[in-house]
Structure 1
Amino acid sequence: MIIIVIVLLIIPFNTHAYLDPGTGSFIIQIIIATMAGFLFSTKIYWTKFKSKIQHFQNKFFKRNKDGER
């Protein structure tokens, strides 16, 4: 199966499609938007994760006034 896919990717075929100059720009824009969305959602969930960890630490490792455990 893999060999068939590789052979089909290597052998050139005639395609009758037109890609205007805006298509490449659109593809680059999609890639950038996808990366930005991924980074933004990662930032949001990382902040929530850190908040829960800090809450856990504060709950189970309460410190007294001297800073001792």
Structure 2
Amino acid sequence: MPELKWLKSSFSEASGNACVEVAATGTSGMALRESEDPDRVLPLSRSALGALVRGVKAGEFEGPRSS
């Protein structure tokens, strides 16, 4: 994969070691990675990334809460 310009989530830790990063890969492509494992890149379309973000905001991917 060519050199990408990665953007970090505004919700990242100050140290920058536990964050989600996203980069554009072309006119319709995106890439997603987690900063702790930057060599592992998930390629996806802009529409798929949009669906993921909407799902996260809606709480569709929340795991069990600890009490």
* TM-score relative to the length of structure 1: 0.27
Q: Name the structure where helix makes up a greater proportion of residues.
A: 1
- Which of structures 1 and 2 has the bigger CA Rg? 1
Q: Name the structure where strand makes up a greater proportion of residues.
A: 2
* TM-score relative to the length of structure 2: 0.27
